[in-house]
Structures are given as C-alpha cells and as structure tokens.
Amino acid sequence: MRDHWPLTGRDDESNVIAELLAGDQYRGVTLAGRAGVGKSRLARDVATAAAVQGWTVRHVAATATGRSVPLGAFASWTDDFDGGPLTLARRVISALTAGTDPGRLLVLVDDAHLLDELSALVLHQLVLQSTTRVIITIRTGVAAPDAVTVLWKDSLLRRLELQPLSRRESDELLHAVLAVPPDHDCSARMWQLTEGNVLFLRQLVEQEWAAGRLTHENGCTRWIGSPQVSPSLIDLVEHQIGAVPEMVRDVVDLVAVAEPIDHACLTALVDPLALEEAQQRELIRTADTGDAVYVGHPLYAEVRLEQCGAIRLRRLRGVVAKAMKGAAGEANSVRRGLLWLESDLPPDPTVLAAAASAASSLLEFGLAERLSRAATDAGAAVETRVELAYNLLMLQKGEDAEQVLDSIASESVRTSAFINDVILRAANLLWSQQSPEQSWQVIDDALVGATGERACQLWAFRANQLALAGRPGEVPAVMAKVDYESLDAFGSTIGLCAETLALAELGQTAGAVAKATKCYTVVDASPQSSFLGQPLAEFHTFALSMAGYIDEAVEVAGAHLRRSQERPATAQSVATAIVGFAALAAGDLQAARAHLAVRPADADANFVLANSYYRFQLLLAQTLARMGDLPGAEAAFRTAREHRRPAYVYVESSALLAEAWIAAGHQRMDDARRTAWAAAQFARDHEQFARELMCLQTAVQFGDTTAADRLTELAEIVEGPRAGLAARYARAVCTDDSDELDVLSTAFEAMGDRLAAADCSGHAAAAHRRADRRGSALTSAERAGRLAAACGGAVSPAIIGARLPAPFTQREREIAVLVAQGLSNRQIADTMSLSVRTVEGHVYRASCKAGVTRRSELAHVVRNLTDPVPARL
C-alpha cells in the first residue's frame, strides 16, 4: 500500500514540459523549487514518458561531494581528462550523443546547482546544441554556477517554479498511499507538519505507519497520538538545512521556542547579520501579513526543539518572555505565559492569570488549566480560582472542578459575572458529572430570593436546561423574565443559544434564525464566550435543515468551519461534524461520513467533544445505514449509546430515527415504521414539532400510509418549505399518486433534500408499475438511481423497490427482499409479525408477478436487482 507514491498535483507542469520538449522555443526546462517539493520525481516521470515515446534519455546526478571534483557529475561519460575545458566538454558531449537519433536525446541533470564549474560548462554547451533537449532541477535560494543560471536568464531553458502540494493535493496523495482517505484531524495535522512537502510527508507517513499510529477506522485513516522526532527524520531535516553557524542556529532556536515571534522582538534579541542569513537560507520566514516570524518549515522547529537541552530551552524561553512585555493580543498573552511558566524565571501571578484568561478565550482549555493553576499557586485573586474551576469543567474533570468550587467563598465572587460559583456548580453537575437532577436543584435553590442580575443569570441557565431537556415550549416564558442588559456576553450567549434551539424545535424558524444572528454578534465581540459558537452553529444549522432551507444550512456549517480553522483541533472536529450534519441533510453521504467521524478518545477528554459526540454518532449511524453499511451503522449506534449524555433528552428522537434506519436497512419495515412513529410521538410529546415533522417524513419514506393527517397539521405549525412537501408526500404515498410523487421528487431536490427526492422517485416508480405505466416507471426508476448515486451510493427500501420490475405491492416487495436475503418463511414471519401462511401467500404472488415458479428463482431475481447503487464520484 505505502510502496506506491503516485505523482500528484503535477499534471499542469507535466503538460507544459511535454509541450516544451516538442517545441522549438526553448531547449528544455529548469525545474526549480525548495527541497522536497518533488522536482526530481517530476523530472524522472517526464523522462520515463519520453523514453516510452522513443527518446534516448541520459541521467546525470550532481552531488555535494562530486562538486569538488572537476567534471565529477559527467565522470562516467569520459575516461580521458586531458585537454582544455572546451575540449573536455566536447568529448563528454560526443559520448552523451553517441548512438542517438538527431533531436531525440533528452538529458536530465538532477541538482544542477551542485555542478562543478567544468560540469556546468558541459551542460551549457550541451544546451547550445539544438539537437538535444535538457531538463535540470535546482533548489530555490541556493547559488548555482553562472553557466547554469545563464541558461534560463538567456531564455535557453524555460524556468518552472514548483510549489509544494496544496492541502487538497496533499489529501489526495494520502488517500492514494493509504488506500482510504484521511479524516479531518489526520489531514490537518499532516498538513500542519509538512505543508505540502512530499519528501517530509513520505517520511512522516512511513514512520507513523510503522509505529502503529496511523490506523483505518470507519472508512477513514486516523492518526492516533503525537508524532515522534525519529533519528531518520532528524537526518532528513539536517541534510536539507546543512551546516549552520552557531549565531544562525541561535536565531532558529529562539524562533522555535516562541513561534510566531514578533519581528521587532526577535531583532532586539539577535545579531542582525545572523538574522539576515537565517532568512536567506529559508531557516526562518516572515508571515505574508504582519510581522510574525516563523521557522522556515514546521519540521525544522520540531528537530531543533528535540536537539536543544532542557536547560538551554528554559533559558531561551525566559529571554523571549521578558522581551515580549507589552505584546498585544490573546495569542501573545498565552505565548508569553507559557514561555514564562516553562522558563527559569520566578512565577508571576499577573502574567500567568492574564495568559490563562486568554487561553480560555482561545478554547485552549488544557493550557488554560495549567496557567490558571500556576497563577493560583502563585497567589492570584479569587477570580482566577473561578476560572480554574471553569477550565476543569471544560476538560471533563468534574470532581476536580467541584473541589475548587468548594474552596471558594461565594461572597468573594463578583455577582456581575455569569461564570460564577453557582452557575459553574450547576454546569459541572449537568455535564461533567452527568447529574441533571442535582444541577436543576442547584438552580432551584439559588433562585429562592434571587433578584437583579443574579436572577437573570439563573433564569438564562434554566432556559438552557429546559432546551436540552426537550422542553422547548417553556423556554420563551423563562427568557421573558431575563433582561439581557443584566447579562454579560457569556450569559447573553447562553440565553440566545437556548432560544435558538427552542424556537427551532417549535418550528419557528424565522425566530430561531433571528436569535442566532443576534447571538453571532455577541460571540464575535466576546472572546470569552467564543466556544459557544459551536452549539450556536449546530442549532442554527438544525433550524435551517429541519425547515427545508438546506443550502442555507450547508452555508452556515461551512462558514463556521472556516471560522474554526485557527481554533484547536477539538473545536475544528466539532465544526467539521456540523458540516457532516449539513451534508447529511443535503444528501451528500460521502461527505457526511467523512465529516461525522469524530474520535471517541478525543471526546472523552474534552467538554466540547464529549457533549457533542453522542449526537454526531447518531447522525453517523443514520449516514452509514443510508449507505448500506449496516455493520458500521450498528457500531456507530452502539458507540453513541455508550456515550449518551443524560442532559440531552432533546436528541432522543434522533436515536430512535437511527434505530429506524438500521431496521430499514435490514428490511424490517414494520419495525422501521413503528420506530419512526415512536420517534415522532416522542418529539410531539416534547413539543419538538420540527423533529416530529422529520420523523414522520422518514416514516413516509419507509412507505407509511397513515401520517398524512398529522403532517397536514404540522404544515400549519412548522415554518419552511419542508412541512408542506412532507404533507403532500404522505398523501401521495397513501393514494399511490405516481404523478404527484414525480412532481414532489423534483421539489425535494430543488429544496436540497436529495435523499427524500430519491425515495420519492422510488415510490413513484413502484406506483407507476402497479398502474402498468412501464415507461413512466422506468423513467422514475432511472431518476431514483441517478439521485442515489449522486448522494454517494444511497440505499433505502424505496430506492431498492424502484429497481424491481414486477408490480409488487409494498408488502410483497418487502417480503421478496427478505427472501433474497436468505430468510426462511418462519424468519420472515417473525420479523414482520405475520403468520407463516400469510408470508407463503405473499411469496407465491410475488413469484407470479416476477414470472418465476420457485422461491430460489425469486430470490435470484430480486438479489440481482437490489445491489447497492455505486456512488457517483
């Protein structure tokens, strides 16, 4: 698998080189680029292709050791070194061209910047011969002999500057090498460390695979743990860096311990000539915008940090930390605090407390805990202990958070802050310690006698509890008691998130979107509440997708992911999963599967993931069931149940829907319809009308004929295009109205729900067939198949039914599919709660309609027609 590293992302360059070799404008091409971008590989592949086309190819490799030997690179082409330079050059050229057809000689010179002067002269003279074509590779930023540089300066060779692979190309290469695509985290980390450098990427993949840290799970490649700076990686990097003077090394080390470091700060610490040389050698680089300085490549920093001793690192950190005094911005505050904490300087509670607060705002809760604990130990104020408890809560360290809260005297805490000892205690019980009843009791007790801003804080948190408990109908009345002017930004965000979710559940889409829009403004203005942008984006996406505004939901999720690119990996994982949620709503199953694959190991140790993992695993189970991967769906469902959070009653109908789709995948259609109805009833009992609508639409997709009346009622309650279409869908399935089903398929597709559109076409095909309209049946069936493929290989009872040519009734089709799966009549009877005699009758009638006489023949016919539709890539 890893033995084959295909040339990736170089199609344009390959085509340009082929055109240059075939034309007369240039004598060849210079491939320039940084080490490891793939110059030599591209040149070799082009040369191989030329050889296949009849060219004679000569390979010449320049080396650092050969540079000290005159004619070292071309030594194998002559054994007579007598004579002047031009005589030697002509002698080598004669040997190179001997036995070749005119105009069909291609000479490839790798690392031409390492040529000795005489070899460079040979190359120059060779290019001047119009009958020879030349490809040379050189490293950007490295001096080359004049006889080489003149080749492109005089336009004898066309110079192409190769860039590292893009993020997309890097992912494509990883997919090709590892056989399955990398998940988002693996892709992001590989990109962060290699930045498209193929040489580094290959080294990293090889060592991480050998170490067992790259694994395949759920159709994706995962990267577990942290990479090690292996000796082979050190050798590779040192080979590229070369010998480095001590003063230049000091520059790199200072940048490595603090990157990014402000240019002015770095200038104050190092010799200017050493700084210039480090830049010229690309050992450090300045950001495209601003004055931030980074190490030239991420792996350079990893290697230097590995090679520096502990005492040297502590001293360097202290030097930079003191120099950063007055640096503005949260990131600089965190960086300075960490440098201070890990240096040889005495602890400073002011520096550490400021860094802890900034780290929390940046969602770096692990760092925030370290910094706030260190600040507390150094004598910081009580607010820092409150922040420590908050950070422990966010890290799922509930018992530790409780101990810190117990050590805080309530009267010493500012009453104006939403993050206070009471709210934190209730939040800790609700989430980390998974005791919602006790959490509610804390708020109940605190509400007794509470007034003013404290009462508003408590009611806002109560609204959050109600929304999560599946009691959205009570949220508006509770929030009516809250004066948002009395809440800080964090409290306002909690209240607005609760209202967004509650209104979305109630089907009041416009109100939900308005609350979400207002909440984004608060979040953007308050770094402390930035982590609440995660549930806000999820609730906003939910509101739009349930209502039927699918494109808008996809855009909201995508925008949130883009905003999260500078956030920690855990925040990016949740943002990625929200994109998966939107992709499922849009019927993009491949994207949904890739984006919903969050790792349980991360979820166990992080608040944001731990409290999202259950929900997203339920959606993953639905996705896999819809793709026909029933073992994967069942595994995801089991994992979801293992991570169930008792505070999240509001997603119980999603769990039931996942069960329903798994049952449908096994063709247990009575169970599927019954479970979808149970999900709808649960949602109705909890006033979750938008979810009830979705559950009943699912029941209709399973062929239910009893949901039309309730869906018609919901069309008057739930805002958005979905409600009306779902009601019409239910009525059309009930009346077997094939023409209406065709119309609705187009309408669902226009709305963005391609899965429902495919099922509509599947039902239309079956209805046309029962009405003996074979042409229309074929058209609808073809559309169902096309939509299923466009969705990434969607599988459903309706899509399967569309491919069956016989005019089966719904019950006959369901039983015929079970026969094809190898179930006996007794097993089918048990599965569908029918008598064996009834099953036998359906099997007989289905066989007659299929034109066969034996049960095995019916199974064969159905099996051949119900294979999953392949994804259209």
Cβ atoms of 462 and 484 closer than 8 Å = no
* pLDDT tier for residue 141 given thresholds of 50, 70 and 90: confident
Contacts of residue 188, defined as CB under 8 A and 6 or more positions apart, other chains included, come to 569, 572
Angle CA(260)–CA(264)–CA(265) in degrees, nearest 5? 65
Q: What is the pLDDT of residues 193-206, one digit of tens each?
A: 888 888 888 888 98
CA 494 from chain centre, in angstroms, equals 26
Counted residue by residue, the chain has a size of 873
Tokens describing residue 616? 């997203």
User: What one-character DSSP code corresponds to residue 162?
Assistant: P
Amino acid 468: pLDDT: 97
**Strand pairing of 56-61 and 220-223?**
unpaired
The amino acid at 779:
T
Q: What is the mean pLDDT of the chain?
A: 88
For residues 79 and 773, which has the higher predicted lDDT (pLDDT)?
773
Amino acid 873: pLDDT: 37
Backbone angles phi, psi at 388, to 5 degrees: -60, -45
Cβ atoms of 184 and 583 closer than 8 Å = no
C-beta neighbour count of 452 within 10 angstroms: 11
- 188 closest CA partner among 214, 211, 170: 170
Find the mean pLDDT for residues 659-669: 91
- 436 closest CA partner among 264, 629, 645, 638: 645
Cβ atoms of 787 and 754 closer than 8 Å = yes
Cβ atoms of 787 and 794 closer than 8 Å = yes
pLDDT at 84 over 80: no
Amino acid 620: pLDDT: 97
pLDDT at 840 over 60: yes
Weakest mean pLDDT among 255-264, 357-366, 836-845: 836-845
pLDDT at 572 over 60: yes
Amino acid 292: pLDDT: 86
For residues 380 and 757, which has the higher predicted lDDT (pLDDT)?
757
Find the mean pLDDT for residues 664-678: 92
In whole angstroms, give the CA distance from residue 384 to residue 779. 68
User: What one-character DSSP code corresponds to residue 68?
Assistant: G
Backbone angles phi, psi at 584, to 5 degrees: -65, -45
pLDDT at 266 over 80: yes
Cβ atoms of 609 and 603 closer than 8 Å = yes
* pLDDT tier for residue 869 given thresholds of 50, 70 and 90: very low
Q: What is the pLDDT of residues 501-551, one digit of tens each?
A: 999 999 999 999 999 999 999 998 887 778 889 999 999 999 999 999 999
C-beta neighbour count of 290 within 10 angstroms: 10
Would you identify the CATH topology of the domain 807-872?
Arc Repressor Mutant, subunit A (1.10.10)
Q: What is the pLDDT of residues 374-425, one digit of tens each?
A: 999 998 888 899 999 999 998 888 899 999 999 887 767 776 788 888 999 9
Backbone angles phi, psi at 182, to 5 degrees: -70, 145
pLDDT at 602 over 60: no
Weakest mean pLDDT among 148-162, 799-813, 827-841: 799-813
Amino acid 139: pLDDT: 87
pLDDT at 799 over 70: yes
Amino acid 252: pLDDT: 86
- 807 closest CA partner among 759, 843, 768: 768
The CB-side HSE value for 725 (13 A sphere, CA atoms) comes to: 27
In whole angstroms, give the CA distance from residue 351 to residue 622. 48
In whole angstroms, give the CA distance from residue 467 to residue 196. 44
Find the mean pLDDT for residues 140-155: 89
> Which residue has 């984004």 as its token pair?
520
Amino acid 871: pLDDT: 45
Domain boundaries, the chain: 10-161, 167-228, 807-872
Q: What is the pLDDT of residues 806-837, one digit of tens each?
A: 667 777 767 777 877 788 888 888 777 788 88
In whole angstroms, give the CA distance from residue 425 to residue 470. 22
Q: Measuring CA to CA, how many Å separate 548 from each of 9, 318, 501?
A: 38, 56, 16
In whole angstroms, give the CA distance from residue 324 to residue 322. 5
Tokens describing residue 523? 């979040």
CATH of range 10-161; options 1.10.579.10, 3.40.50.300, 3.40.50.2000, 3.90.1640.10: 3.40.50.300
User: What one-character DSSP code corresponds to residue 853?
Assistant: S
Amino acid 605: pLDDT: 56
Weakest mean pLDDT among 49-63, 136-150, 168-182, 236-250: 236-250
CA 315 from chain centre, in angstroms, equals 38
Amino acid 603: pLDDT: 47
Percent share of the chain, pLDDT over 90: 52
Find the mean pLDDT for residues 218-242: 76
CB pairs under 8 A, 24+ apart, for 479-488? Answer: 481/455, 481/456, 482/456, 483/456, 484/456, 486/452, 486/453, 486/456, 486/457, 487/418, 487/453, 487/456, 487/457, 487/460, 488/416, 488/417, 488/418, 488/526
Tokens describing residue 117? 């002067």
- 204 closest CA partner among 182, 219, 570, 287: 182
Tokens describing residue 510? 């416009």
Q: Before 102, cis peptide (omega within 30)?
A: no
Contacts of residue 4, defined as CB under 8 A and 6 or more positions apart, other chains included, come to 176, 177
pLDDT at 242 over 70: no
Q: Measuring CA to CA, how many Å separate 65 from each of 62, 70, 73, 81, 338?
A: 9, 11, 10, 19, 44
> Which residue has 């070749």 as its token pair?
100
Q: What is the pLDDT of residues 357-368, one digit of tens each?
A: 999 888 888 899
Tokens describing residue 849? 């309609």
User: What one-character DSSP code corresponds to residue 549?
Assistant: -
Find the mean pLDDT for residues 470-475: 98
Q: What is the pLDDT of residues 436-465, one digit of tens each?
A: 999 999 999 999 989 999 999 999 999 999
Contacts of residue 813, defined as CB under 8 A and 6 or more positions apart, other chains included, come to 766, 797, 800, 801, 804, 846
CA 582 from chain centre, in angstroms, equals 13
